[in-house]
C-alpha cells in the first residue's frame, strides 16, 4: 500500500505551505492593497465590492440628511413658502439616501437637485463626485483584473497524470506530456523543473526542501516552443542527473517531489503566465512510454485524441541508469 506523502505543490499548481510566527503586522498587506484585493477569493471580493458602494451611498446619505437638518429644510421644521432648501425634495433619511445614490452613480432623475443656497452642499456634491469616481475606478478595475488574470489562462494548460521513465534516442529519460487546450499560443514558452528532497550536508545540517535543477528538453528545443499541439518533454538521466542512482526496484522507496514549471506569455493579453504541477515517486512509472495521440484525418487535418493523453504503454527499459 502506497504511503501518504506530503506535497509542496498540488497537481493543479497550488502551493501547500503556511507561514507561522510572522512578526510583521498584518497592516503591511494594506500598504499593497491592490495585490491584496486581487488575491482575495471571489466571495470576499464581491463582499468588499458591494460594501464599498453601499457604505459610501449610506455615509453620504447621512451627510446630506445632516445638511438638510442644519439648514432646516425638513418638513418637521415647517419651512415657509419662500424658503430655499440646500437640496430640493429631501424630506427624510430615505430621500437623502436616494439623492446620494443618484449623485454618485450620476443617474440624475431631475427630481432632487442641489441649489445655490448652501456652499456646504456644493462642496459635499463635489467631494462625493470625486470620491465616487475613485471607488468606481478601483473596484471595477479590480474585478476586471481578477477576471483577466493570467492565472486563469493557466487552467487551460494540462500536464500528464504520471511521468514515465523509458529509453528515448538510445538514452534513459524521464518523460512528461504537456498540452495546450486552446488554439491560441503561449509566446516564448520555457519549461524547467525542480527536484525537492531532504538532504544532509557534510556539516550535518538537514535541509528539508533542498532544490535541485532539472533540465527538460524538447526535440525542437526548450526555448520558444511552438505549443500548438501536445508536447513530450524529457529529462536525460545521465551522471549529472539526480535520478542516476535510482532504479526501478528502489524508486518507490525514494522521498522526493518533482515540480515542473511552464512559463510563457499569453498571446491575447501579453501577460506572463506560469503553470506548475508536481510528481511524487508513486506517480513516476518506470518502463513505460506515452501512447500516441496525434493523427491525421482523411480531410488533411491533424487530430489530437485527448482520451490517450495520460495513457501509457509498457516497453522494455533498463532497470537502472
- Overall average pLDDT of the 139-147 stretch: 87
The pLDDT mean for the chain works out to 86
What gap in Å lies between CA 222 and CA 236, rounded to an integer?
13
Residue 219 forms part of a structural domain: yes
What is the structure's pLDDT at 32? 78
Give the residue from 148, 174, 201 where a domain finishes.
Answer: 148
Q: What is the CATH number of the domain that holds 97?
A: 1.10.287.70
Higher pLDDT, 231 or 23: 231
What gap in Å lies between CA 152 and CA 146, rounded to an integer?
9
Q: Do 139 and 165 share a structural domain? A: no
Give the residue from 123, 148, 173 where a domain finishes.
Answer: 148
What is the structure's pLDDT at 1? 42
Give per-residue pLDDT as tens, 17-36: 777 766 666 677 777 788 88
Q: Do 219 and 73 share a structural domain? A: no
What is the structure's pLDDT at 203? 82
Higher pLDDT, 206 or 125: 125
Give, as one character, the DSSP assignment of residue 183. S
- Asked which of 54-63, 221-230, 263-272 is least confident by mean pLDDT, the reply is 221-230
In the chain, the number of structural domains is: 2
Q: Do 156 and 144 share a structural domain? A: no
Give per-residue pLDDT as tens, 239-285: 999 999 899 999 988 888 999 998 888 877 777 888 899 999 999 99
Find how far residue 135's CA is from the centre of its chain.
23
Q: Do 97 and 163 share a structural domain? A: no
Q: Do 299 and 215 share a structural domain? A: yes
Give per-residue pLDDT as tens, 162-211: 999 999 888 999 999 998 888 777 887 888 999 998 888 788 778 888 88
Q: Do 122 and 63 share a structural domain? A: yes
Q: Are the beta carbons of 149 and 38 closer than 8 angstroms?
A: yes
Give the residue from 96, 120, 148 where a domain finishes.
Answer: 148
Q: What is the DSSP string of 268-279?
A: TT--EEEEEEEE
- Overall average pLDDT of the 291-305 stretch: 85
What is the structure's pLDDT at 222? 54
- Overall average pLDDT of the 45-60 stretch: 94
Q: Among residues of the chain, what percentage have pLDDT more than 90?
A: 37
Find how far residue 151's CA is from the centre of its chain.
4
> Which residues span the domain enclosing 291?
152-314
Q: Among residues of the chain, what percentage have pLDDT more than 70?
A: 93
> Cell numbers at residue 110, please?
431631475
Q: Do 307 and 279 share a structural domain? A: yes
Residue matched to cell numbers 507561522: 20
Higher pLDDT, 202 or 6: 202
Q: Do 289 and 181 share a structural domain? A: yes
Residue 12 forms part of a structural domain: no
Widest pairwise Cα distance in the chain: 102
Higher pLDDT, 109 or 314: 314
Handedness of CA 19, 21, 24, 28 (dihedral sign): positive
What is the structure's pLDDT at 69? 93
Q: Do 141 and 36 share a structural domain? A: yes
Q: Distance between the two ends of the chain, CA-based, in angstroms?
A: 26
Q: What is the CATH number of the domain that holds 250?
A: 2.60.40.1400
Amino acid at each position: 500500500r502506497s504511503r501518504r506523502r506530503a506535497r509542496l505543490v498540488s497537481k493543479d499548481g497550488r502551493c501547500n505551505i503556511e507561514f507561522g510566527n510572522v512578526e510583521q503586522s498584518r497592516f503591511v498587506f494594506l500598504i499593497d492593497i491592490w495585490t491584496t484585493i486581487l488575491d482575495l477569493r471571489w466571495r470576499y471580493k464581491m463582499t468588499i465590492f458591494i460594501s464599498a458602494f453601499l457604505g459610501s451611498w449610506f455615509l453620504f446619505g447621512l451627510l446630506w440628511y445632516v445638511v438638510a437638518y442644519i439648514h432646516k429644510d425638513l418638513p418637521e421644521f415647517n419651512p415657509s413658502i419662500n424658503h430655499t432648501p440646500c437640496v430640493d425634495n429631501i424630506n427624510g433619511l430615505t430621500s437623502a439616501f436616494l439623492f446620494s445614490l443618484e449623485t454618485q452613480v450620476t443617474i440624475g432623475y431631475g427630481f432632487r437637485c442641489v441649489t445655490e443656497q448652501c456652499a456646504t452642499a456644493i462642496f459635499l456634491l463635489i467631494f462625493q463626485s470625486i470620491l465616487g469616481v475613485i471607488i468606481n475606478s478601483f473596484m471595477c478595475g479590480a474585478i476586471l483584473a481578477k477576471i483577466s488574470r493570467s492565472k486563469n489562462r493557466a487552467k487551460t494548460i494540462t500536464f500528464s497524470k504520471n511521468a514515465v521513465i523509458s529509453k528515448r534516442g538510445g538514452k534513459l529519460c524521464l518523460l512528461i506530456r504537456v498540452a495546450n487546450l486552446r488554439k491560441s499560443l503561449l509566446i516564448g514558452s520555457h519549461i524547467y523543473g525542480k527536484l525537492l528532497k531532504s538532504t544532509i550536508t557534510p556539516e550535518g545540517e538537514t535541509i528539508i526542501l533542498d532544490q535541485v535543477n532539472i533540465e527538460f528538453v524538447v526535440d525542437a528545443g526548450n526555448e520558444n516552443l511552438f505549443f500548438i499541439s501536445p508536447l513530450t518533454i524529457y529529462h536525460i538521466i545521465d551522471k549529472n542527473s539526480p535520478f542516476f542512482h535510482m532504479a526501478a526496484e528502489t524508486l518507490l522507496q525514494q522521498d522526493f517531489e518533482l515540480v515542473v514549471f511552464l512559463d510563457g506569455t499569453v498571446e491575447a493579453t501579453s501577460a506572463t503566465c506560469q503553470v506548475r504541477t508536481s510528481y511524487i515517486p508513486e506517480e513516476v512509472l518506470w518502463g513505460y512510454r506515452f501512447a500516441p495521440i496525434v493523427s491525421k484525418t482523411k480531410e488533411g487535418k491533424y487530430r489530437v485524441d485527448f482520451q490517450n493523453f495520460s495513457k501509457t504503454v509498457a516497453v522494455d527499459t533498463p532497470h537502472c541508469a
